[in-house]
Amino acid sequence: MTTQFQHARDGETTDAMRRVAERENVSPEFVREEVAAGHAVIPANHNHASLDPMIIGEAFSTKVNANIGNSEETSSREEELKKLHMAIHHGADTVMDLSTGQNLDDVREANVRYSPVPVGTVPIYEAVKQVDDPDDITHELLLDVIRKQAEQGVDYMTIHAGVLMEHLPLTDGRKTGIVSRGGSILAKWMEENAMQNPLYVHFEEICEVFAEYDVTFSLGDGLRPGCIADAGDEAQYAELETLGELVGIARDHGVQAMVEGPGHVPLDMVAEQVEREREVCDGAPFYLLGPLVTDIAPGYDHITSAIGATEAARAGAAMLCYVTPKEHLGLPDAEDVRDGLAAYRIAAHAGDVAAGLPGARDWDDALSEARYAFDWRRQFDLALDPERAQDYHDQTLPGDNYKEARFCSMCGVEFCSMRIDQDARDADGEMEHIEDETDLDDSSAAEVNLPPVGTHDTSRVPELPDFLREIHDADARSGASADD
Ligand code: SF4
């Protein structure tokens, strides 16, 4: 069967390209050109029937991936489907099933069947589960697992084919060695067997399987830095050169390819990393994990990495793999997944806005207009996480009457700057030009030491809820004031 890449190169616009164009608000021809150039990928396995096609590429909105999957401790298919649902509900553009527990086939098949977004996997994880010792993995086993997962409808796979024997000594002086799971397994395999990486040696056979089902390569960075001290070292960039070579081989086989990136990178090096990948890998979409810009904040690594991810998106990264607050510490729970996805959707969008992606700022402008209009319901609807936005608002002002209030509890009625600003403007929304400066000595305002500005219509301010009135009255009784 023909891949999206082959169709694009043949000048054919597919249904998937048309759907993607609709979602991205661009022309189908533009989508086709980007795919044909290898600068964008549409991960869409022929066997993934429930897929709503999407595109990953620098010229399109930055996408966010969420990792899901079971472990030895949690293995039920239902639990995994709940995670899938939650990830999509909170805005994941793709999901990676990183299951390493039981019932891997059941879980994977269910995820593909019920997922409208592309599903990615790391096949070497399943290969490891099928042998007593990871050093016994064979290339036949790897190819069997890859073929089976392709048949099951997996849309993209992380293949760590760029880690070579000759790269391994370059990691000797690192602070944190090899931190990629796939990279460390393969490095040990090469050390024990004194043989080259089987994924590299048999890469063309993998290409043939991928071409048959239209599976997209996510070329893994097995030697990515695990701390900012190791960022941009010889090992990382040597592997990147190999990944560039593999992108070319994949394209020669009509297969789509994107490239994975770090990891941990100080902020001042993030853009350089994106630019280098673009150059070495001929514009193949760059898919980054983070990167974390500092290593000092375990427990907050959704924030440390969202900072790097924002800069990466601004510089041209095509997809970001989310990091949750539990990174380096434990398996994320539902709330961690929600927080991680929110952090990364913010990073992706902020990067798009800063990069000037056409239409990206429309969302910000719509929300800002709703905010200035005190249209709280529209603000919630437009919010990245509507449920959280409304929940936070309702914690202090729960009543329906507060959904049109010209203030919230952050500054309060008296100090609501947007309300004060609106009251200072005329009907055209302009500040009146004062021809004659008020003589404060003659002003009644001088007597009470207030500026001569208008006050808002207090009759339109809703009543305080009882519990706030009690606090207000108690403050008044104790003589508390804003100056306290
Ligand atoms: S009270 Fe403050 S935070 Fe709330 S709407 Fe007014 S200006 Fe905005």
Higher pLDDT: 436 or 323? It is 323
Helix residue ranges per DSSP H, 102-166: 104-114, 123-129, 139-151
Tell whether residue 222 is among the known ligand binding residues: yes
Taking the CA of residue 412 as reference, the ligand 1 atom at the shortest distance is 1
* Best residue for ligand 1 mutational test, from 396, 411, 423, 456 (most atoms within 8 Å of Cβ): 411
CA–centroid distance, residue 430 to ligand 1 (Å)? 20
**pLDDT greater than 70 at residue 236:** yes
65, 260 Cβ separation under 8 angstroms: no
| Segment 185-197 mean pLDDT | 97
**pLDDT greater than 90 at residue 161:** yes
Q: Determine the pLDDT at residue 102.
A: 82
**pLDDT greater than 50 at residue 458:** no
| Segment 171-182 mean pLDDT | 96
CA–centroid distance, residue 480 to ligand 1 (Å)? 22
Tell whether residue 260 is among the known ligand binding residues: yes
Taking the CA of residue 408 as reference, the ligand 1 atom at the shortest distance is 4
DSSP assignment string, 400-414: GGGGS-S--TTTHHH
Q: Which domains does the chain have, with CATH numbers?
A: 2-353 (3.20.20.540), 360-442 (no CATH)
CA–centroid distance, residue 390 to ligand 1 (Å)? 15
Higher pLDDT: 102 or 446? It is 102
Q: Determine the pLDDT at residue 76.
A: 75
* Best residue for ligand 1 mutational test, from 368, 408, 420, 456 (most atoms within 8 Å of Cβ): 408
Taking the CA of residue 413 as reference, the ligand 1 atom at the shortest distance is 1
Centre a 10 Å sphere on the Cβ of residue 91 and count the other Cβ atoms it contains.
17
Confidence of residue 481 (pLDDT cuts 50, 70, 90): very low
The mean-pLDDT minimum among 274-278, 430-434, 442-446 falls in: 442-446
Taking the CA of residue 418 as reference, the ligand 1 atom at the shortest distance is 7
Tell whether residue 160 is among the known ligand binding residues: yes
344, 322 Cβ separation under 8 angstroms: yes
CA–centroid distance, residue 311 to ligand 1 (Å)? 29
| Segment 139-146 mean pLDDT | 98
Higher pLDDT: 60 or 79? It is 60
Q: Which residues line ligand 1 (CB under 6 A)?
A: 407-408, 410-411, 416-419
Question: Over the stretch 210-228, which tens digit does the pLDDT of each residue have?
Answer: 999 999 999 999 999 999 9
One-letter amino acid for residue 74 of the chain: T
CA–centroid distance, residue 301 to ligand 1 (Å)? 30
Judged by DSSP in three states, 74 sits in coil
Instruction: Take atom 6 of ligand 1 and give the residue whose Cα is closest.
Output: 416
| Segment 134-159 mean pLDDT | 97
63: enclosing H helix or E strand: strand 63-68
341, 323 Cβ separation under 8 angstroms: no
Q: Determine the pLDDT at residue 311.
A: 98
Instruction: Take atom 4 of ligand 1 and give the residue whose Cα is closest.
Output: 408
CA–centroid distance, residue 363 to ligand 1 (Å)? 20
**pLDDT greater than 80 at residue 415:** yes
Residue indicated by tokens 């601004």: 314
**pLDDT greater than 60 at residue 443:** no
The mean-pLDDT minimum among 64-73, 264-273, 384-393 falls in: 64-73
CA–centroid distance, residue 15 to ligand 1 (Å)? 46
pTM of the model: 0.88
Confidence of residue 83 (pLDDT cuts 50, 70, 90): confident
224, 235 Cβ separation under 8 angstroms: no
Confidence of residue 460 (pLDDT cuts 50, 70, 90): very low
Taking the CA of residue 374 as reference, the ligand 1 atom at the shortest distance is 5
How far is CA 106 from its chain centroid?
Answer: 27
Confidence of residue 434 (pLDDT cuts 50, 70, 90): low
| Segment 274-290 mean pLDDT | 97
Tell whether residue 125 is among the known ligand binding residues: yes
Cα–Cα distance for residue pair 158/149, rounded to 1 Å? 12
Q: Determine the pLDDT at residue 34.
A: 98
Instruction: Please list, residue by residue across 371-394, b when 16 or more beta carbons sit within 10 angstroms of its beta carbon and e when fewer do.
Output: eeebbbebbbebbebeeebbeebe
One-letter amino acid for residue 268 of the chain: D
Higher pLDDT: 429 or 255? It is 255
* Token output for 100: 């390493």
Instruction: Take atom 3 of ligand 1 and give the residue whose Cα is closest.
Output: 410
| Segment 6-15 mean pLDDT | 98
CA–centroid distance, residue 410 to ligand 1 (Å)? 6
Q: Determine the pLDDT at residue 447.
A: 44
Q: Determine the pLDDT at residue 482.
A: 34
Question: Over the stretch 69-78, which tens digit does the pLDDT of each residue have?
Answer: 877 766 677 8
* Best residue for ligand 1 mutational test, from 407, 423, 461, 468 (most atoms within 8 Å of Cβ): 407
CA–centroid distance, residue 384 to ligand 1 (Å)? 19
| Segment 453-473 mean pLDDT | 49
Question: Over the stretch 111-140, which tens digit does the pLDDT of each residue have?
Answer: 999 999 999 999 999 999 999 999 999 999
DSSP assignment string, 256-301: -EEEEE-SB--HHHHHHHHHHHHHHTTTPPEEEE--BS-SS-TT-H
* Best residue for ligand 1 mutational test, from 375, 416, 421, 422 (most atoms within 8 Å of Cβ): 416
Question: Over the stretch 297-351, which tens digit does the pLDDT of each residue have?
Answer: 999 999 999 999 999 999 999 999 999 999 999 888 888 989 999 999 999 999 9
Taking the CA of residue 419 as reference, the ligand 1 atom at the shortest distance is 6
| Segment 366-378 mean pLDDT | 95
* Best residue for ligand 1 mutational test, from 374, 393, 403, 418 (most atoms within 8 Å of Cβ): 418
192, 253 Cβ separation under 8 angstroms: no
Higher pLDDT: 227 or 79? It is 227
Average pLDDT, the chain: 90
Tell whether residue 221 is among the known ligand binding residues: yes
Q: Determine the pLDDT at residue 407.
A: 93
Q: Determine the pLDDT at residue 79.
A: 81
Cα–Cα distance for residue pair 390/363, rounded to 1 Å? 18
